[in-house]
Amino acid sequence: MQPNAGTVTAEVGNVVWQTLFKHLLDGVVYARLIYDRGLAVDFVYLAVNPAFMRASGLSRAVGRRASDVIPDLRASNPELIERYARVAAGGQPEKFEVFIGAIDQWYQISLSSPAPEHFVAIFNGISRRKRAEALNDSLQAHLQQAQQMQAINISSSGVAHDLNNILMAILGFADLAARDSAIANPKAQRGYLNEVRLAAERARELVQKILQPKPPAQDADGTPALNPQIPIEESLKMLNVLLPAGIVLSSLLTQVPPIRVSGIDLQQMLMNLVLNGRDAISAAGGTGTINVALTACALAQVQCTSCLATFSGNYVEVEVADSGSGVSSDASRAMFNLFYTTKAPGAGSGLGLSVVDGLVHAVGGHIIVEHLRPQGTAMRLVFKA
């Protein structure tokens, strides 16, 4: 802490040092370390400035040992004395932030050594900033939690919406099984009852999704590879009982490479798309066709209608094409928004496409909407092959 003799005289330097020491708003401590068998274990305060006394409340520290002035210091901050010793042994000056538990305060400490075994520490109190930072961190954590809760709520409403569709399928198969014609034909009846059981199993898997919600942005790597044909065929059977007589559901499912998506998620997506097709056909008069196609394809510079990303590569595509009303221009801008619906209250929830959008992107896929000629819509879900 000697003034630079090249620029000021010793006398001026002394005045500068004295003034700084007295008036600096930061606390200054000048101290000598005490060693036991070569190890720094304590220190003696040789000088402390008024700011240090004010901040610490230690007015009679000079001449006393740290272990006497702040008895808990070594227990709360064993590393502090090590640092003082390192600098006092000729190490580089150091500047660091530390929480001193013994006095419940945060400091930024600038440390240097004017002579062997001695150190000068300048204490800048930063407790207020640290508390503000901690508050900010905890607010952030709360916000994140609130967002997660919201995501879980949304996915629960989506599941409730899809569960309703499955319950409709169960009721449909149960009605079929109860008909006289089925009673007269036990084989057919067993077939319907088997569909009831399969649909109920899907319902159970969906409920499982509410009971054990997974984070929304989970990646596809952990999902085992799946042959999409099997869950799609199963959904088509269920959908057949949900569609009114004027709608013909057909499918063309080709052999494709496995994809990383869960069967229940794929079924949720497919059910939502086909039922949207049903509604679009009802809106356009009530008769029409819905085609489901499963194909492998190589895509070049295609744009996702929802996230707008452009992508290329080998994909597996699940396409649902309907001959319905087509998407209105208002709807084509907003259809993926949560709760957006053009349907009458009770008929639409605005959840279907949000759920599809969330599920397809969660596994790194995309969705492409095509406007068909002369009329209708094709929704193409693509998954990395």
Ligand X SMILES: Nc1ncnc2c1ncn2[C@@H]1O[C@H](COP(=O)(O)OP(=O)(O)O)[C@@H](O)[C@H]1O
Binding residues (CB under 5 A) for Mg ion: these are: 276, 352
Stretch that binds ligand X, among 63-71, 240-248, 257-265, 320-328 (CB under 6 A): 320-328
331's tokens? 């709807």
Residue 206 site contact among ligand X, Mg ion, none (CB < 5 to 8 Å, cut-off depends on kind): none
The nearer residue to ligand X, 73 or 281, going by C-beta atoms, is 281
- Asked whether position 370 contacts ligand X by CB under 6 A, the answer is no
- Asked whether position 341 contacts ligand X by CB under 6 A, the answer is yes
How many angstroms separate the CA atoms of 81 and 77, rounded? Answer: 8
The nearer residue to Mg ion, 352 or 365, going by C-beta atoms, is 352
- Asked whether position 27 contacts ligand X by CB under 6 A, the answer is no
The nearer residue to ligand X, 1 or 154, going by C-beta atoms, is 154
- What 87-90 contacts at long range (C-beta under 8 Å, 24+ apart), as own/partner pairs, is 87/111, 87/112, 87/113, 87/119, 88/33, 88/40, 88/113, 88/116, 88/117, 88/118, 88/119, 89/113, 89/116, 89/117, 90/116
Stretch that binds ligand X, among 67-75, 110-118, 206-214, 338-346 (CB under 6 A): 338-346
- Asked whether position 348 contacts ligand X by CB under 6 A, the answer is yes
For residues 358, 359, 365 and 368, what is the CA-based torsion angle, rounded to 10 degrees?
A: -60
How many angstroms separate the CA atoms of 84 and 114, rounded? Answer: 12
- Asked whether position 216 contacts ligand X by CB under 6 A, the answer is no
- Asked whether position 331 contacts ligand X by CB under 6 A, the answer is yes
Among 342, 361, 368, 375, binds ligand X (CB under 6 A): 342
**Is residue 379 a contact partner of residue 319, using CB atoms and an 8 Å limit?**
yes
Site map 248..277 versus ligand X, x via CB under 6 A: ------------------------x---xx
Residue of this chain nearest to Mg ion (CB atom) = 352
- Asked whether position 352 contacts ligand X by CB under 6 A, the answer is yes
> What is the smallest separation between the CB atom of 343 and ligand X, expressed in angstroms?
4
> What is the smallest separation between the CB atom of 279 and ligand X, expressed in angstroms?
6
